[in-house]
């Protein structure tokens, strides 16, 4: 029912979303065992697991409906330059403040994407979105509760939240890098489009940041860090892929 150009744009959209979720999921799993308190350790790991699940759902659509390779091959056998994840997700976990603010900025965008996708004219995406958007709503609840808590906490926690926010902002704006054929998808009601998602995101993040007593950096004055959607990455992605695929590559045909 969709023409070739539309299907190719759809592949780009799904791959970018899947790669974002896979990489942030893997990154956040690095907090397992190191979380600031036991309950948060469990929560962060559980959220990371959800992200890998969402990546699997998206890769599965590419495999089952759009003729791409199977999810394991897409996740574990591609080269660094084939990944179209934004650069925000590949940065090392840093201190907890950096990871927490990144988690907020990423998940507010993910929720907007998936809520919109639940009405998508592309049915497989709409079905997946309806299934998982509740999980992402919780991820946003988790991140915003923590950010508000720390933003209104001690002088140190407030300063750390503000500096993590400043540090993350240009990278986070890179989530909304446009891609070839995007307009076709918007025209046909398949998805909202990066510019519209960015606008909604700025509003929602701004409200949370304000409630946390922090100052929202001026997005208009920042140069978004683009490149990820075209396969340009920082020096941090390749080592992540090496680690993530280490076991898989020993025997890609192994039965688990």
Which residues are at the interface with other proteins (CB under 8 A)? 34, 36-37, 39-40, 42-43, 46, 138, 141-142, 145-146, 149, 153-154
Task: State the nearest-atom distance from the C-beta of 138 to other proteins, in Å.
Answer: 7
Residue with tokens 């996708």: 117
Is 6 or 46 the residue whose CB approaches other proteins more closely?
46
Cα Dmax for the chain: 57
Q: How far is the CB of 36 from other proteins (least distance, A)?
A: 7
C-alpha to C-alpha distance for 194 and 182, rounded to whole angstroms: 8
- Choose between 140 and 209: whose C-beta lies nearer to other proteins: 140
CB of residue 206 vs other proteins: minimum separation in angstroms?
Answer: 21
Place of tokens 């009405």: 119
- By beta-carbon proximity to other proteins, the closer residue of 152 and 238 is 152
Write phi, then psi, for 118 (nearest 5 degrees): -65, -15
DSSP 166-205: HHHHHHHHGGG---TTHHHHHHTTS---HHHHHHHHHHHH
The secondary structure of residue 230, as a DSSP letter, is: G
In the complex with other proteins, the residue whose CB is nearer, 150 or 170, is 150
Shortest CB 74 distance to other proteins, Å: 28
221 backbone dihedrals φ, ψ, rounded to 5°: -90, -5
Distance CA 20, CA 86 (A): 6
User: d(Cα 244, Cα 242) in Å, to the nearest integer?
Assistant: 6
- DSSP character at residue 85: -
Residue 64 contacts by C-beta under 8 Å, 6 or more apart in sequence?
124
Instruction: Work out how close the CB of 9 gets to other proteins at its nearest, in angstroms, rounded to a whole number.
Output: 37
Q: Which is nearer to other proteins, 36 or 189 (CB)?
A: 36
- If the CB atoms of residues 33 and 67 are measured against other proteins, the closer one turns out to be 33
State the nearest-atom distance from the C-beta of 87 to other proteins, in Å: 27
- CA atoms of 144 and 124, how far apart (whole Å): 30
Residue closer to other proteins by CB (options 39, 255) is 39
How near is the Cβ of 247 to other proteins at its closest, in Å?
23
CA 214 to each of CA 100, 189, 199: distance values in angstroms, whole numbers, following the listed order: 14, 36, 19
């Amino acid at each position: 029912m969709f023409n070739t150009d539309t299907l190719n744009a759809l592949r780009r959209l799904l791959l970018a979303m899947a790669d974002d979720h896979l990489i942030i999921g893997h990154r956040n799993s690095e907090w397992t065992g190191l979380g600031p308190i036991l309950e948060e350790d469990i929560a962060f790991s559980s959220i990371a697991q959800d992200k890998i699940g969402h990546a699997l759902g998206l890769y599965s659509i590419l495999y089952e409906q759009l003729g791409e390779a199977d999810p394991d091959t897409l996740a574990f056998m591609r080269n660094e330059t084939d990944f179209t994840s934004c650069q925000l997700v590949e940065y090392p976990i840093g201190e907890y403040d950096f990871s927490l603010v990144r988690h907020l900025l990423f998940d507010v965008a993910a929720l907007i994407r998936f809520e919109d996708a639940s009405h998508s004219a592309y049915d497989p995406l709409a079905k997946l979105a309806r299934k998982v958007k509740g999980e992402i709503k919780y991820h946003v609840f988790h991140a915003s509760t923590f950010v508000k808590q720390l933003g209104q906490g001690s002088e140190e926690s407030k300063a750390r939240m503000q500096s993590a926010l400043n540090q993350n902002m240009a990278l986070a704006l890179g989530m909304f890098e446009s891609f070839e054929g995007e307009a076709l998808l918007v025209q046909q009601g398949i998805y909202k489009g990066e510019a519209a998602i960015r606008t909604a995101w700025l509003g929602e993040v701004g409200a949370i940041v304000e409630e946390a007593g922090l100052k929202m950096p001026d997005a208009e004055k920042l140069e978004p860090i683009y490149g990820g959607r075209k396969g340009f990455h920082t020096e941090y992605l390749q080592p992540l892929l090496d680690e993530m695929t280490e076991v898989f590559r020993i025997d890609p045909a192994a039965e688990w």
